[in-house]
Amino acid sequence: MTERFEFQVTEHISSISENKAGYTLELNKVSYNGNPAKLDLRRWKDGKPLKGITLSDDEARSLFGTLKTILEK
C-alpha cells in the first residue's frame, strides 16, 4: 500500500538560489499531509519538493541563534 504524500506551500518567504539545472533553493512555510505549516528550506524542481529540512519555530530560533553567533565572528 502506498501512502499518499501531500504538501501545501502556505507562504513563500525567499528564493535563496537557483542552479543551471533549474533547481531552486527556497525558504517557505509548508504544510505536509495536512499538518500545521513549518519553516522549510529545501531544493525544488518543477514545483516538486526535493531534499531539505523542515523546522519547528523553536528549532528555527535555535538555528538562527547559532548562525548569528558563527557569522558574527
Mean pLDDT by 10 residues, the chain (73 residues): 84 96 96 95 94 96 96 89
As given in the structure block, the three cell numbers for residue 25 are 533553493
DSSP state of 70: H
Three-state SS for 60? helix
Provide the pLDDT for residue 68.
Answer: 95
Q: Which CATH class is domain 7-71?
A: mainly beta
The span from the CA of 59 to the CA of 40, in Å, is 11
So where are the chain's domains? 7-71
Stated pTM of the model:
0.84
As given in the structure block, the three cell numbers for residue 29 are 512555510
